[in-house]
A and B are shown apart, each in its own frame.
Chain A
Amino acid sequence: MAAQAESWSWFAALAVGVSLLKCLFINAYHSTDFEVHRNWLAITHSLPVSRWYRENTSEWTLDYPPLFAWFEFGLSQAARHFDPNMLRVENLDYASPATVLFQRLSVVFTDLLFIYAVRECCRCVGVQKGSKEVLTRPSFVLAVLLLWNFGLLVVDHIHFQYNGFLFGFLLLSVAKHLQGQHLQGALLFAVLLHLKHIYLYVAPAYGIFLLRSYCFTRDHRDGAIRWSSFSPLRLLALGGIVTSVSALSLGPFIVKGQLPQLVSRLFPFRRGLCHAYWAPNVWALYNAADKLLAALGVRLKLLQEAELPRASMTGGLVQEVQHAVLPSVSPSVTLLCTLLSILPALASLWRRPRGGRAFLRCLLLCALASFLFGWHVHEKAVLLAVLPLSVLAVESREDAGIFLVLATTGHYSLFPLLFTPAELPIKVCLMLMFTIFSFTGLGALHRARGPLLRPLELVYLLGLLAVAIGCEFVFPLSPWRQRLPFLPLLVTSVYCAAGVCYSFLRLYASMLRSDHRPKQP
């Protein structure tokens, strides 16, 4: 027992270290999300439940599901002791030092759940094969990749959000599935869905996996489904969990007849196809192609410049992008694309269930597909794929290669989030730290099986370095700064989109390829 406790002391060091580092960013720049969450604290604290989803004094209305509102309500009980003024709805843009301190600390402390989840994940990966060296243990590398994740540090502790806490639920649920405790995993995921509904994107993977691998208890020898092994009891248990969590969360609002109001807050389709800054996905490539064609058309006199939609050349600065040449995209088209792109993965998970790892892979594909094809995707959503992929990356060499491409491009695409010069050294250094560690740490893990990256991938990632230097250092000093202010954002999202799409295709290929391999015992 004592020996085991000792072997985990490095984990405590990593966790405490990163938590203290987070505290150093208390006075750093924070985005409007800070005010969003302050406003929610105020709403949940000072208004009755029935007005939570009706209140609109601030433009940042409550648009997360009810459990998150209750979470804010819980936080507000502690916030009272820091500065009661932050809990008043009419105090817009209120940010006293005590408020900042409280909000920042609340993120750091709720991250404890994330730390616990990471520890559970680390327990699931490869038992050490006699490697004494801490630095080259899979569990150590995984712990660093998750705890010190660049994106999470930047988005949560500088930009300001509660992703760490939410990812804690997700990773804990994944870990429970990997450990075979499916009911706990399902419960955690149900709670997570009612905390933030963006996780609906990965719900198909959960649904298929639980139905196939939990409700059917046995397979034929070739892996095909054995219909007779269906266990209604298990299905009932799952159904019970999902219904009771939903009832707890939505019940009060259904009783008051506010469900339509709540749903309209949660799913605002008024927003455009792309966020102000294009997330590096398929639509970024689509927009860029549209612009390229429009420019080409004008140059070749096929199009009249006056006929082009006005906003199209101001780049990512407006919400509604009107396409000039290519057909415009509607929400239903994006939904259809997303569904089509995850269908093969779901089918594969249904036909050949291969345990928790395959489930995790399918979850990843769902997350990436929705990131690539979704409507109004935020660049931060790439973390939904990067974090779970870390688990696979420490176990297989191929996944490690994909991880390096996806994490590097995905993290770099977060750079525009922090645009203030004071935070430049932090984002550059943290990014370099994480990237150097992921390259050398994963490289050391899989050293015996050759290099992680193919030559072309390496060239692509080195190109990213050039893009970074160009956008962050050269461009601000160049004369184009006035004429083409959107250029760095456009280049960044297009270049990163290529990498994210490529990782998606490689992940898909590796999943489908393993379909044809004989089932491993």
Chain B
Amino acid sequence: MQTWSLVSISVLLAVVVRWGVSLNSYSGAGKPPMFGDYEAQRHWQEVTYNLPLQQWYFNTSDNDLNYWGLDYPPLTAYHSWLCAYVANIINPEWVELHRSRGYESPAHKLFMRTTVLVTDVLIYIPAVVFYCLYLTGGSAKKRVSLLLSILLYPGLILIDYGHFQYNGVSLGFALWGVLALGLGWDMSGSVAFCLALNYKQMELYHALPFFCYLLGKCARAGLLGRGFILLARIAVAVLVTFALCWLPFLPDPSQASQVVRRIFPVARGLFEDKVANTWCSLNTLIKIRSFLTADSQLYLSFALTLLAALPSSIRLLMKPTFWHFKLALVNSSLAFFLFSYQVHEKSILLAALPVCLLLNDFPFMSVWFLQASTFSMLPLFLKDGLLVPYAVTSVGYLFLTFYLLSALDDCSEAEMNLGCYSKLSFFLPKTYLACMMRWKFYFSIALMAVLSILSVVLDPPPHLPDLFPVLVSTTAFLHFLGAFLHFNIVQFSEPVSKKSQKKNN
């Protein structure tokens, strides 16, 4: 069978699964007065369509910022405006100022779901297809397997098509950036990444690797010669993209500063809800928030984030290869997720994207991480009534990746996986180590399954109402911490990475 038919079948399957998930409930369905992210997105359409641009980010009588005020960068706002424009043509009630608040109907749900699918089909899915076809090695079948494994990653599907968000846009732009850098088109890559950054500020998680990779590349070409020209061109591309995105807000400095204040809400505290990062997990042992001032929390988290992201970034700066770039993306986004300020559980998707890109190189570890990342959002899915799609897509994904990528088989031959540890723990025989990893994996999957079932079936004891969310987030946190350490070690163990690179080519 030809590659084109396999690719198109995979893409169609991905669309069917996405749409199948979207038939389910969304966040805040029928839950006044605040509803959920679905209403937030609808409200942004209402605001951007009806108010002049100068009022979008300001608290006015027509724009109550306490009710889902716009807190994403301008591209999101433009996108909302575009959706609202279409919505107004179909049914003006959907975006009517004030009176459309909390609007819900099957037709409107269909419209909202369609907007997500459209952006996905236009931005995210093509990026994945091109990445798999042009930047991975192996036979056509292998590449299509990878394509399917990336497209069917449950976390992203459940958040975008179940919970309701447009992560496909920002992640898609970031992936276009990665793709362009991988093909050597540095300018287009920077432009794509700037678009991602201007769609969601959370893309900052990926900013350090992009910066270090490009800087390292320029430095290698000679910062006084060709490298400087390259750097200048990239800088111009970045500045022009930013300027274009912010153009309407630039004339008035108070406008721009208000947008920035909205985007980085430092007042919202170190963490909200139960999120699988360091602060929330540490909170079960020590109540950090009670003895540190808000400012010192901010500085502490900022310092720790930088400290955690620094090693891999420096390594990337020294060796700006695509291989190191992908690893640094994982390490940096995980560092941000684990240590930075005001992290949401959905932000794990930012780490999941680069891990998806490593599926080909480290099937075992990547699949493990991706499963854990989906699991970490379980409390959210339960709240949104997405239990069935969560169970179906997670089990399906586990099964699919093991069949397509033969992840478990790779574990034994995965010297590239484990060779780095044998240096650390030279007293253990390698086979024993592989076996131990596999059992650890089985145990962790079983633990996730048991915790998922318990959260659904059991009512928590009255004095510990958050028992299961805390258990889930702590378990996931341990996985993420382990993955963070593992991928850092991998990035620093050069000989191994060379071998696996050769293997891929």
Contacts and interface: CB of A to CB of B under 8 A. Distances in A.
B392 A23 contact: yes
B16 interface: yes
B20 A426 contact: yes
A436 B5 contact: yes
A433 B106 contact: no
A327 interface: no
Interface in A404-451: 421-422, 425-426, 429-430, 432-433, 436-437, 439-441, 444
B243 interface: no
Nearest to B25: A27
Given A17-B400, A440-B1, A24 B12 contact: no
A174 to B, nearest CB: 27
Contact of A422 (B2, B13, B21, B110): B110
A135 B24 contact: no
A306 interface: no
A23 B390 CA distance: 11
Given A135-B141, A433-B13, A436-B9, A21 B20 contact: yes
Interface string B4-34: 0110110011011101110110000000000
Contacts of A4: none
Contacts of B396: 16-17, 20-21
B399 interface: yes
B24 A13 contact: no
Contact of A16 (B9, B19, B21, B399): B399
B1 A433 contact: no
Nearest to A441: B1
Interface string A1-36: 000000001100100110011011111100000000
B1 A24 contact: no
A429 B399 contact: no
Q: Give chain B's interface secondary structure class.
A: helix
B403 interface: yes
Nearest to B141: A135
A136 interface: yes
A436 B5 CA distance: 7
Contact of B392 (A20, A421, A429, A436): A20
A429 B19 contact: yes
Contacts of B1: 135-136, 440-441, 444
B117 A24 contact: no
Contacts of A26: 388
Contacts of B15: 425, 429
B389 interface: yes
Contact of B110 (A421, A433, A439): A421
Contact of B12 (A27, A421, A432, A439): A432
Given A135-B1, A425-B117, A444-B1, A21 B17 contact: yes
B106 A422 contact: yes
Contact of A436 (B8, B17, B24): B8
Contact of B20 (A24, A101, A440, A444): A24
Contacts of B2: 440
A429 B388 contact: no
B20 A25 contact: yes
A148 B96 CA distance: 44
B247 interface: no
A439 B8 CA distance: 13
Interface of B: 1-2, 5-6, 8-9, 12-13, 15-17, 19-21, 23-24, 106, 110, 117, 141, 388-389, 392-393, 395-396, 399-400, 403
Given A21-B17, A135-B1, A436-B8, 10 more contacts: A13-B399, A28-B23, A422-B106, A429-B16, A432-B8, A432-B12, A433-B9, A436-B5, A436-B9, A437-B5
Interface of A: 9-10, 13, 16-17, 20-21, 23-28, 101, 135-136, 421-422, 425-426, 429-430, 432-433, 436-437, 439-441, 444
7 contacts: A23-B388, A26-B388, A27-B24, A101-B388, A422-B23, A429-B13, A433-B12
